[in-house]
Structure 1
């Protein structure tokens, strides 16, 4: 019954794929304002719905496999969706050099200001004060801050290029550095410092016992079924991303909307399941889990999406501009500084949430009125 219930999401996804394979070319050739909006809403809702299935199956596999394979499966599943959506839009249009930058910047703003702000405000109203594992949040920020500066700020100040891009040697070295730093963080998170990422009142983990820790016996048939369901959920998103990219590109061009809106749409698609899960966790007074979801999503975006996008750029020759505009740099630095202050104390209140939400509103205003 559980397997049949889990099959509903991919079934809807594959039915949508079949509809676009059979009739998509005709729909695209005669696309108009009303039909384009209808298809966009349809694809957006289907992809978000199927993405919930990806997260569910990845979390199930994470519980079955234990660490570190479980964390890798969950992280890579979300990053695959993000990279596929960015790549589809990049390759489908010749004028999307800033899409990767806009998407990563939007993820940072939506997560660190929007979701964190709403969550802390909601949690403060409901629980007055909430506690979390300070060491884990500090570890996340210690990786997020340098990776953010390297990816989105430094390209504006290098002398090799003058348009916010990276030269090939810089792209290769920064990609290796980013992957290496993220790998070290992942190793510490799933190894000797695993206790940093559990609730403060949870049973402490003895580092000496970590080497002897093994997950419970795994039913191989069940494991293969969930791996199959994971792939069945991811594939329709991969296939539908090309159609969504065309509609999104058409809509932005026809309406004159800011190009950054494409990055916001992709960031929302990618993070919607985890964002909703984080808000549910905060409502249940599980702030540590919510922080792991939010800051973990930002860390994986910077640690894995940046190298993937730069690799696509080097392979295809498509330019990728990573350096932010001056207003974006101001907002980014303000967000990182505010996050460092918010997560410098093991207790949070609704005040921190209100301040983060204020920055998120400023971000939205600047998108449509730079």
Structure 2
């Protein structure tokens, strides 16, 4: 791809404006740090916090935009992995910024990952099923791929939220347990990625039903619930994820350029997250808000761009892509965030409380059971969406109870 084409299709004004905005905002906060470190009035505090959050959201959209373009070049499941890992990186950075900032934040990782779990399993999935089900009558996930996601989620979420209260001390793993479980979690997640991108790659691609027996010329009966499914061919609805874009050298140039843009947009998010964490902590403390609300805010900021991407996939009838974006993102979140925060706790000597309350564990169990019921049927419909949304409402009530 020649340079003029790169300038026209990749280095667009909007693509360059996002990292420029992020770096400009960081330089501004750096210059104003003596002012921000003092006692700010409530209106000033919330105005500055809102401005920083807005810049982080704009930059996050830029990260997702570049990741989506890379996804089309690399194909599923590689493309989805680029997107989800970019989002998870932002979340890990934001949680780490809070942990390393001033104040005591022993439960921030637990609250953030729990909020992410509820948002993904219920709010995003529920909205996607409702939107996609109202537009399409025949939405079929790849049940083998969803089953693999659920198998890992059951184990990883139990390690994250249930076992710290059962085998740990005061809701936190002891140092030896933290080291062992962090290593095992990384190994399990690494093995999952190896299989997902290798021998079991077809399990995470879109499926189309095999035609049933013909009962009249040109007409086939509706395939039954046990009808086999095969990965959608390259010429099908996912052909856009394997678009050809000229010579391989041109494609490599585009991939490299978009990767550099992605990194340039992520870095200011990392740098701004420290100021956001300190101001958010101060603002919620003044408002008397629940401690867990900080984790919910971080989760909502991080997954807003991916939520929009998921809704687009649902409206396009790409139900396995919905699962890849949601369930794959949650597997990556738990599989990478928990080892990261446990490592930070070990290095800094901070206590990392992960054990959840009975109420939240029940909500988590209901969410996993509902996910299994929804995605292991022959097809999913709009009726499944409100059930997931109802569980998210119950989670919101539990946070403020």
TM-score, L = length of structure 2: 0.84
Indicate the structure (1 or 2) with the bigger Cα radius of gyration. 2
- In structure 2, which of residues 306, 320, 325 is the aligned counterpart of residue 288 of structure 1? 320
- In structure 1, which of residues 84, 91, 104 is the aligned counterpart of residue 113 of structure 2? 104
- In structure 2, which of residues 169, 176, 179 is the aligned counterpart of residue 169 of structure 1? 176
Partners of 2:73 and 2:197 lie apart in 1 by 15
Gaps in structure 2 of 5+ consecutive residues: 1-7, 209-230, 235-243
TM-score, L = length of structure 1: 0.91
Aligned to 1:38: 47
Deviation digits for residues 299-324 of structure 1, max 9, x if unmatched? 00011111111110100001100110
Aligned to 1:15: 24
Partners of 1:284 and 1:62 lie apart in 2 by 16
Structure-2 change in CA distance of 1:68 and 1:366 (3 Å): closer
Aligned to 1:318: 350
Q: Is the CA contact (8 Å cut-off) linking 2:76 and 2:205 kept in structure 1?
A: no
Aligned to 2:394: 362
Q: How many residue pairs end up in the alignment? A: 359
- In structure 1, which of residues 285, 305, 313 is the aligned counterpart of residue 337 of structure 2? 305
Q: Is the CA contact (8 Å cut-off) linking 1:133 and 1:197 kept in structure 2?
A: yes
Mapping of residues 52-131 of structure 1, within 5 Å: 52-64=61-73, 73-131=82-140
Q: Is the CA contact (8 Å cut-off) linking 2:110 and 2:353 kept in structure 1?
A: yes
Q: CA deviation at 1:325?
A: 1.0
Partners of 1:345 and 1:221 lie apart in 2 by 43
Q: CA deviation at 1:362?
A: 0.5
Are 1:217 and 2:248 an aligned pair?
yes
Aligned to 2:225: none
Partners of 1:291 and 1:360 lie apart in 2 by 18
Are 1:179 and 2:186 an aligned pair?
yes
Could you say what secondary structure the match of 2:248 adopts? coil
Could you say what secondary structure the match of 1:347 adopts? coil
Q: CA deviation at 1:93?
A: 3.1
Aligned to 2:261: 229
Partners of 1:77 and 1:279 lie apart in 2 by 18
Alignment RMSD:
2.1
Structure-2 change in CA distance of 1:263 and 1:49 (3 Å): same
Deviation digits for residues 109-142 of structure 1, max 9, x if unmatched? 0010111111112222232442221111111111
Aligned to 2:227: none
Partners of 1:356 and 1:62 lie apart in 2 by 28
Q: CA deviation at 1:168?
A: 1.1
Q: Is the CA contact (8 Å cut-off) linking 1:195 and 1:204 kept in structure 2?
A: no
Partners of 1:105 and 1:312 lie apart in 2 by 19
Mapping of residues 148-297 of structure 1, within 5 Å: 148-158=157-167, 161-201=168-208, 202-203=231-232, 217-219=248-250, 220-297=252-329
Deviation digits for residues 164-198 of structure 1, max 9, x if unmatched? 10011111111111111111111111111111111
Partners of 2:124 and 2:83 lie apart in 1 by 20
Gaps in structure 1 of 5+ consecutive residues: 206-214
Deviation digits for residues 5-37 of structure 1, max 9, x if unmatched? 311211111121122112243144242211111
Q: Is the CA contact (8 Å cut-off) linking 1:78 and 1:270 kept in structure 2?
A: yes
Deviation digits for residues 87-106 of structure 1, max 9, x if unmatched? 11111133210000001100
Q: Is the CA contact (8 Å cut-off) linking 1:93 and 1:249 kept in structure 2?
A: no
Structure-2 change in CA distance of 1:129 and 1:365 (3 Å): farther
Deviation digits for residues 188-240 of structure 1, max 9, x if unmatched? 111111111111124469xxxxxxxxx97244543432222111101110110
Partners of 2:337 and 2:145 lie apart in 1 by 22
Deviation digits for residues 123-163 of structure 1, max 9, x if unmatched? 222324422211111111111111111111111111xx331
